[in-house]
Structure 1
């Protein structure tokens, strides 16, 4: 068990450091790879900290993993909203605002798209 805990600590440190260095040097963007390195690294460091009863380290890595998990989910959701050809789907708030402005001007109305979002009828 001690060997597994030590290996976990070293691999976790390597994952976090590799992600940070790659991002800082411009080799990768803030996205899936960077956040996955942070998430996996912090989880491995958390296991090492638990084994050694290093509670400040465990607490830090719980927070680090939580932040990384939220950022990773956001990155994955953003990737799913990209249409073929690299076009991004418009944000729901922008669509809503456009519909509200059109309705106030008396020119157009809005309807629901097949995706359940409001879209202006021109």
Structure 2
């Protein structure tokens, strides 16, 4: 299957059948691609992988860099563009309405929030145990 998705394979992705979705966002002068996987409960494998693609340094005047046209320029990595094409082909063209996309985003944000709360609570409990051990 890696011959069907050479860019994803080059990025180190091997579990093509387990990919559930992906997310692309911009952080400063980089594009961040996050790929999420279906994992059974209790699995030790990661639920996501994050890839960062730096954007080239700007060559335009500072005034132009602050405009909307500047942010719409196609200065993304060719590897990222190819990976997005492969992900789109892999996951199919699942057409979502705006309401479905909003609901999916809300569900994911709530799941991320719950996960973060569990992680923080575990860390706080660990720190409390370490403090108690010092007494």
Q: Same fold per TM (> 0.5)?
A: no
TM-score w.r.t. structure 2 length?
A: 0.29
From the two aligned structures, give the one with the greater helix fraction.
1
Q: If the length of structure 1 is used for normalisation, what is the TM-score? A: 0.31
Structure exhibiting the larger radius of gyration computed from Cα positions: 1
